[in-house]
Structure 1
Amino acid sequence: MPIDFSLTDEQKELQKLARRFAREQIAPVAAEYDAREEVPWQVVEKLHEVGLLNAIIPEEYGGLGLGMLEEVIIGEELAWGCMGIYTIPMASDLGITPILLAGSHEQKQRFFKRLTEKPALAAFALSEPGNGSDAAALRTRAVRDGEHYVLNGTKTWISNGGEAEVVVVFATFAPELKHKGVLALVVEKGTPGFKANKLHGKMGQRASGTYELVFEDCRVPAANLLGAEGDGFKIAMNTLNKTRIPVAAGSVGVARRALEEAAKYAKEREAFGKPIAELQAIQFKLAEMSMGVETARAYTYYAAWLTDQGLPQAHAAAIAKAYASEMAFEAANQAIQIHGGYGYMHEYPVEKLLRDVKLNQIYEGTNEIQRLIIARHVLSG
């Protein structure tokens, strides 16, 4: 059977919907909410109205049941409008994924209903102040007490952490067991002993809420345990192996926006008596940006296809995430260079593209961690 690179009619319609939404609902307010460091709830509500929020939840639980390829098609378009605003639904899908992977039918019914009956978000709480990339060295402690677990500890850099209806929290029940002593608990908004403190002063993605989560004798029902005790590390890693792919898609969206803005400006700006688009030095920059966008998109689609086929995707996801995020940062950087002094000012959107996409090299596992994953795959043969 020949390889088919075309999208289905349904995927094309989904792409059109997401593209129109980004142009009409996200791009016009992106700079405002970046400056205010606030979550644009009216955009979240409209995402829910058109079905683009929490769309990976299966149909039987009230969602659209979209696959990974559909998720990345949407992701590129929304991130074109604003990577910070796109991080809101992307991080919600990150919080949903552990429940999809390890939740029981009853848990999916219970938690997903909270995410589909109204505009609502999920979150994923793994990172801690002292162990961002060392996921096996958790200090947040979960102690079984009858029909509850008592949580104590602090999580940080948690997207949607203060807004989320449900937060999947990873904690240790036996520190001496390291990664084998980790469990995953779903903590619901409003649970006593659970507090969220918003972090301010971020370089970029300021329209997305980032939080420190504090748990002080927080009693969580044992019925909220995903899988079994000891499954937490595996659940977290399997989640990240999937959700790095939407980060790559967002990076492609940012890079495409950088290319479009740079090409538009190059055709308008004149120097030495002609548009700078006619200068070979500018053309080479635009060509490099285009090469990066097309290559990153193709590989991101490949990683998404592997996921949808149920094939191993950790290696491909790591490549897609690392390559696309670094390519996008360079594309934004070159877009600023083409704009010259204007690119350094808020008047044009390219400086924000650079600030926003830097985080894509850090969250969902730093790109250094991605290189470790890739190297292990190479060395394993």
Structure 2
Amino acid sequence: MKETVFPGMASAPATSFGLTADQASFAETTRRFAQEVLAPGYKAREAAATIPLELRRQMGELGLIGVEFPPAFGGIGADHVTAGVVLEAISEGDFNVGYIQLLGSLCGAIVARHAAGDIAAQVLPRVISGESLIALALTEPHGGSDAAALALKAVRDGDTYVLDGEKTSISMADQADLAVVFARTGTAAERAHGISAFLVDLASPGISRTRFSDLGQHAVGRGSIFFDQVRVPAQNRLGAEGSGFVQVMQGFDFSRALIGLQCLAVARVSLAETWAYVKGRKSFGRPLADNQGVTFPLAEAETMVEAARLLCFHTLAAKDAGAPHTREAAMCKWWAPKLAFEVVQTCLLLHGHAGWSTELPFEQRLRDVLGLQIGDGTAQIMKLIIAREALKAVSA
């Protein structure tokens, strides 16, 4: 039986990347959940501006959060390619719900590697089960792309640190119950070497939060977190003092490939729906698909999406192999969100007036993927990283 994402619209083609039997099984389980549970509520979750706890619990029960973590933390010890397969399938049903897996993987990895053993053992099973949600609190009002220019201070006071300052543009700021917070423990002159990371309970006294009114990603939400003399136990510091910046930069290579797959999933679903539409829709007595002016743009989009998708999986495979992949991760991050936006726009236009309607998903998808041309590293920063890596190779 043909599965559908939206009534009358074809689903995305099955995942293919030389998957193992286990990976293919995960892809099928996740895709079924995405199409039967996530896709029908895509617009409703946007209207409610939240991803319900109960839905996160369902994902946790199916083992769809943090699959790459070991069984001791509640995961299954899968590789990073499998994590990408799962995130891609989730995002086919709802781009925004993909953030649950994305944040769980990015923030969870920092906690797993750098938190005290007893803290990691308490926190990670809750994240992987869907009970807890960890936000990444890095960006500040005057330090967007310059992530090392942090002003939020963490001052040691006995067995606690006192945090003062603001984090802004934080995804899921008002929904998360925990945050990995990066703060300055050294001097401003030390730049990246003076930054430390802390696991902070967002119910702590002195914390307040706001939510922004954004163009898209309403179910995720973005906002500021304010810290006013917030006391954090010293044992909640993640790793050595001054090592926080290195921790988050290492994690971004993984998350950038995941973001690429998250955005491309939306493009793939939109393409599948549009091929079905142009095959069935008639104009001047003939299917729209008889016109090369219709099919050629879709053929070009199929080619570009497939190439970008393979790049994302190549990056994850490199991570699994322990090979350098910073350059490839940056390529994923600048290209995939831009490409996804362009593809969804093409699909919207080929649906004519119907595509312009809010009854179809294209307008929401456009708004949702656009934000990731900004968040988690702009295209300009990604190109700087690629250029830096290329010049290293030349000098070597």
Please give the range of the TM-score, normalised by the shorter of the 2 chains.
over 0.9
Match of 2:286 in 1: 274
Question: How far is 1:5 from its partner?
Answer: 5.0
Match of 1:166 in 2: 178
> Are residue 216 (structure 1) and residue 212 (structure 2) matched?
no
1:127-206 matched pairs, under 5 angstroms:
127-174=139-186, 175-199=188-212, 201-206=213-218
Residue identity opposite 1:331 in structure 2 = V
Counterpart Cα distance in 2 of 1:19 and 1:117: 19
- 1:304 pairs, out of 308, 313, 316, with 316
Match of 1:245 in 2: 257
Question: How far is 1:97 from its partner?
Answer: 2.1
Residue identity opposite 1:242 in structure 2 = F
Counterpart Cα distance in 2 of 1:298 and 1:152: 43
Cα contact 1:114–1:165 (8 A) shared by 2:
no
* Percent of matched pairs sharing the same residue: 35
Q: Deviations over 1:17-42 (max 9, x none)?
A: 11001101110000111123222333
Question: How far is 1:159 from its partner?
Answer: 1.7
> Are residue 377 (structure 1) and residue 392 (structure 2) matched?
no
2:96 partner SS: helix
Counterpart Cα distance in 2 of 1:160 and 1:330: 26
Question: How far is 1:233 from its partner?
Answer: 1.0
* Closer, same or farther: CA 298–116 of 1 in aligned 2, 3 Å: closer
Residue identity opposite 2:344 in structure 1 = A
Counterpart Cα distance in 1 of 2:255 and 2:383: 16
Q: Deviations over 1:82-106 (max 9, x none)?
A: 2112123312322212123333433
2:22 partner SS: helix
Residue identity opposite 1:157 in structure 2 = S
Unaligned runs of 5+ in 2: 1-15
- 1:353 pairs, out of 345, 365, 384, with 365
1:16-31 matched pairs, under 5 angstroms:
16-31=28-43
Counterpart Cα distance in 2 of 1:374 and 1:146: 43
Match of 1:225 in 2: 237
2:97 partner SS: helix
Residue identity opposite 1:182 in structure 2 = I
Q: Deviations over 1:53-106 (max 9, x none)?
A: 233332112222332101110111111112112123312322212123333433
Counterpart Cα distance in 1 of 2:125 and 2:32: 28
Counterpart Cα distance in 1 of 2:374 and 2:193: 25
Question: How far is 1:223 from its partner?
Answer: 0.4
Unaligned runs of 5+ in 1: none
Residue identity opposite 1:147 in structure 2 = D
Question: How far is 1:177 from its partner?
Answer: 1.1
The root-mean-square deviation of aligned C-alpha atoms, in Å, is 1.7
1:32 partner SS: helix
Residue identity opposite 1:191 in structure 2 = S
Question: How far is 1:173 from its partner?
Answer: 1.4
Cα contact 1:180–1:233 (8 A) shared by 2:
yes
Match of 1:108 in 2: 120
Question: How far is 1:116 from its partner?
Answer: 4.2
Counterpart Cα distance in 2 of 1:143 and 1:295: 47
Q: Deviations over 1:281-330 (max 9, x none)?
A: 11101101110221111111100001111221111111122222221111
Question: How far is 1:45 from its partner?
Answer: 2.0
- Show structure 1 runs of 4+ deviating over 3 A: none
Cα contact 1:168–1:185 (8 A) shared by 2:
yes
* Closer, same or farther: CA 117–298 of 1 in aligned 2, 3 Å: closer
Q: Deviations over 1:192-214 (max 9, x none)?
A: 21222222x22111111323111
Cα contact 1:92–1:160 (8 A) shared by 2:
no
Match of 1:84 in 2: 96
Q: Which moved more, 1:49-58 or 1:308-317?
A: 49-58
If the length of structure 2 is used for normalisation, what is the TM-score?
A: 0.91
2:39 partner SS: helix
Cα contact 2:104–2:128 (8 A) shared by 1:
no
Counterpart Cα distance in 1 of 2:119 and 2:53: 27
